[in-house]
C-alpha cells in the first residue's frame, strides 16, 4: 500500500506542470496552490519512513514548494506557482553542489548502492558526473525561469512538463552509455596491471 502511495505522489509531482496548466485554466491560483500544498503534505508524510540522509535532502525541496504554495494563498498570483520547477532545479543544484564540498558526491552515493567497493578512479568519475548534473540543473533552472518571465503558460507547460524531462532523460542515457565505456576501460586497465 505504501509503495502505491509513493507511486501516486511521485506521479503527481512529475505531472505538476500539467496539473498547474489545467488548474489555472479551470480555477484561480489559490485553489491550484491548495493542490500543491496537498501534494507537498503527502510527500512529507513519506519522510518519516525515509533514511536520515534522504529526509535531509527532501526537506529543503518540500519547504520551497510549501513556501510557494503559501505565497500563492496569500497573493493569488500564479507566478509563484510557475516558479516551482525553477526553484526545484536550484534546490537540486544545491544538493548536488554541497555533495561536492562535503563528499561523497551525490553520484558516488548512488553508485555505491550498486558497488560499495568503488575504486578511486570510480570516485573521481562520479565527482565529474556530479559536476555535469550541477551544470544541467543550473541551465534547467535558467530555462524554467525564462519560461516564467516570458509569460506564456503553454510554453511554460511545454518546457517544464515535457522538454526538461526529455533533456534529463537524454543526459541520464548519455551518462549511462559513457559509464559502460568507462567501466570497460577500468576493467582493461586492471587486466593489464
Q: Could you read off the pLDDT of 131-163 as tens digits, one per residue?
A: 999 999 999 999 999 999 998 999 999 999 999
Q: How far apart are CA 55 and CA 160, in angstroms?
A: 25
* Residue-wise DSSP of the chain: -HHHHHHHHHHHHHTHHHHHHHHHHHS-HHHHHHHHHHHHHHHHHTGGGS-HHHHHHHHHHHHHHHHHHHHHHHH--HHHHHTHHHHHHHHHHHHHHHHHHSSSPHHHHHHHHH-TT--HHHHHHHHHHHHHHHHHHHHHHHHHHHHHHHT-HHHHHHIIIIIHHHHHHHHHHHHHHHHHHHHHHHHHHHHH-
State pLDDT tens for residues 42-51: 888 877 666 6
Q: Within 13 A of 112's CA, how many CA atoms are on the CB side?
A: 16
pLDDT at residue number 193: 62
- C-alpha 144/C-alpha 155 separation (Å) is 10
The pTM for the full model equals: 0.87
Provide the pLDDT for residue 71: 95
Residues of the chain with pLDDT under 70: 1, 48-51, 53-55, 193
Within 10 angstroms of residue 123's Cβ, the number of other Cβ atoms is 17
Amino acid at each position: 500500500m505504501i509503495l502505491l502511495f509513493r507511486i501516486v505522489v511521485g506521479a503527481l509531482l512529475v505531472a505538476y506542470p500539467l496539473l498547474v496548466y489545467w488548474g489555472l485554466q479551470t480555477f484561480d491560483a489559490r485553489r491550484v496552490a491548495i493542490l500543491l500544498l496537498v501534494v507537498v503534505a503527502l510527500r512529507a508524510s513519506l519522510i518519516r519512513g525515509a533514511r536520515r540522509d534522504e529526509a535531509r535532502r527532501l526537506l529543503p525541496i518540500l519547504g520551497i514548494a510549501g513556501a510557494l504554495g503559501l505565497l500563492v494563498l496569500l497573493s493569488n498570483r500564479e507566478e509563484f506557482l510557475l516558479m516551482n520547477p525553477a526553484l526545484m532545479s536550484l534546490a537540486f543544484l544545491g544538493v548536488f553542489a554541497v555533495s561536492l564540498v562535503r563528499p561523497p558526491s551525490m553520484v558516488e552515493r548512488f553508485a555505491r548502492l550498486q558497488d560499495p567497493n568503488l575504486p578511486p578512479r570510480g570516485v573521481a568519475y562520479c565527482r565529474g558526473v556530479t559536476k555535469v548534473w550541477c551544470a544541467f540543473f543550473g541551465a534547467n533552472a535558467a530555462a524554467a525561469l525564462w519560461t516564467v518571465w516570458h509569460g506564456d503558460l503553454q510554453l511554460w507547460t511545454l518546457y517544464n512538463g515535457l522538454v526538461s524531462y526529455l533533456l534529463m532523460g537524454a543526459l541520464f542515457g548519455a551518462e549511462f552509455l559513457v559509464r559502460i565505456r568507462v567501466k570497460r576501460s577500468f576493467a582493461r586497465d586492471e587486466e593489464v596491471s
